[in-house]
Amino acid sequence: MPLTIEKKQDVVKKYQVHKNDTGSPEVQVAIWTEWINELTEHFKRHPKDNNSRRGLLVIIGKRSALLKYLSKQDPVRYQKLIKQLGIRK
């Protein structure tokens, strides 16, 4: 149940660092966050969908690892990103 192409393009445009950026940590984390949000809504309707729940945990792990990398490499970009996405407290 991946994101639609239009929604993914909107996320890329919003979080890209430069014009042709599609793979920076900011873009990847933003895409995964959107996907996590969609899956969360899916589980409200389908609480017994355990196969998708495993996929959700994998995505959360990838996002966590990339956020950890970004926090070590560039703490300013990390703080800006988590504030934009509203994912940490």
* pLDDT of the residue at 3: 83
The overall average pLDDT reported for the chain is 92
Asked whether residue 10 is domain-assigned, the answer is no
Domain assignment of residue 15, yes or no: no
Percent of the chain with pLDDT over 90: 85
- Has residue 88 got a pLDDT over 90? no
35-66 pLDDT, tens digit per residue, is 999 999 999 999 999 999 999 999 999 999 99
62-67: Cβ within 8 A, 24+ apart: 62/32, 63/29, 63/32, 63/33, 63/36, 66/25, 66/28, 66/29, 66/32, 67/25, 67/29
User: What pTM does this model have?
Assistant: 0.89
The tally of domains found in the chain comes to: 1
State the pLDDT confidence band at 81, using cuts at 50, 70 and 90.
very high
Q: Within a domain: residue 12?
A: no
Within a domain: 68: yes
Has residue 49 been placed in a domain? yes
The whole domain housing 76 covers 24-85
